[in-house]
Structure 1
Amino acid sequence: MAAQQDLRAALAERAQQVPVAQLARDAGLTRAGIYKALAAGAQPRMETLQRIAVALGCRIVLEQARKAA
Structure 2
Amino acid sequence: MSKRTKVNELPEFDAAPYLDSDEAVAAYLTDILESGDSALLAAALGDIARARGMTEIAKASGIAREALYKALRSDSQPRFDTISRVCAALGVRLVAQPIHV
Q: In terms of Rg, which structure is larger? A: 2
TM over 0.5: yes
TM-score computed with the length of structure 2 as normaliser: 0.58
Q: CA deviation at 1:38?
A: 0.5
Percent of pairs with identical residues: 33
Deviation of the 1:44 alpha carbon: 0.2
TM-score by length of 1: 0.80
Higher RCO (CA 8 Å, separation ≥ 6 residues): 1
**How far apart, CA to CA, are the structure 1 residues paired with 2:43 and 2:74?**
7
Extract unaligned runs of 5+ from structure 2: 1-35
The total of aligned residue pairs comes to: 66
Q: Distance in 2 between matches of 1:29 and 1:18?
A: 15
Note the aligned Cα RMSD (angstroms). 1.4
CA gap of 1:6–1:63, structure 2 versus 1, over 3 A, is farther
2:24 maps to none
Q: Which AA in structure 2 matches 1:37? A: A
Which residue identity lines up with residue 59 of structure 1 in the other structure? Answer: R
Residue 62 of structure 1 is matched in structure 2 by 96
2:40/2:74 contact within 8 Å kept: no
Stretches of 4+ aligned residues off by more than 6 angstroms: none
Residue segments in structure 1 that go unaligned for 5+ positions in a row:
none
